[in-house]
Amino acid sequence: MRLVCKAEQMSLEQTSVGVLGGTGPAGTALAARLASIGYNVVIGSRSSERAEEKAKEIRDAWPALNLPLRGGSNEESAACDIVVLATPWDSAATTVREHAAALRGKVVISMANALVRVGHEFQPLVPPRGSVAAHVQAAAPDCRVVAAFHHLPAKELGHLGDPIDSDVLICSDDKAAIETVSEMVRRIPGCRPLDSGELSNATAIEAFTAVLLQLNVRYKTRVAPKLNGIKGDPRA
């Protein structure tokens, strides 16, 4: 029997999102954006003080928005209704394993990419089980891992005054979890969620980030994917 995530039964204003290990650029940017669209967000860290410093920086940068955002421990962020895993890729599985009991039955969003820079090129690495997301799912099998948010530029994501013109590729072995994250993405101005199938597709989604980063370097820009030809989901 599938466990029902509490977030699936809540209104947006009631839903809390924890950003586990969320004090880096990508984690804080996504935390700020989710708070700006109405989620109650907790930035988590091994140091609660550092997390609150980051949260205060964001609140002070956007005082008119009254962002529902605070810092806390990783334990506090893992206790939220939906959890975003924002640690470096090589500590992602270890982190979810430490918090497996708190994450049981919850949607856990994996946004990490396993990459290395070799000279002037970015190259994807192959983590255990083929992707960071699959490795996380194996480490905490009772949570519902969704791979998403790999390709959004952190700077644009954190600039709350502007929309983000991007598609967000989402994959998971749990269809209801895909819909939960898709609804989150729909609320971000300019973003379109695309159901990209089962979690096995995270291998390609994560690796494609290396191509986008290379384009950023070559053309001195920050790119985000936008796919043409998709008019709507024929299954709807």
Ranges of each domain in the chain: 7-219
CA 44 vs CA 41, 71, 101, 121, 208: distances in Å: 9, 6, 17, 32, 27
Share of the chain above pLDDT 90, in %: 86
Is residue 226 very low, low, confident or very high in pLDDT (cuts 50, 70, 90)? Answer: very high
pLDDT of 13 reads: 62
Once rounded to an integer, what is the mean pLDDT over residues 148-155? 95
> SS3 of 230, please?
coil
Could you read off the pLDDT of 2-56 as tens digits, one per residue? 444 555 545 556 899 999 999 999 999 999 999 999 999 999 999 999 999 999 9
Domain 7-219 has CATH 3.40.190.10: no
**pTM, whole model, 2 decimals?**
0.93
Could you read off the pLDDT of 78-90 as tens digits, one per residue? 999 999 999 999 9
Q: How many CA atoms lie within 13 A of 224 on its CB side?
A: 19
- Edge to edge, the sheet with strand 69-73 lists 69-73, 40-45, 16-20, 82-85, 107-110, 144-147, 166-172, 191-195
Token pair for residue 169?
């590729």
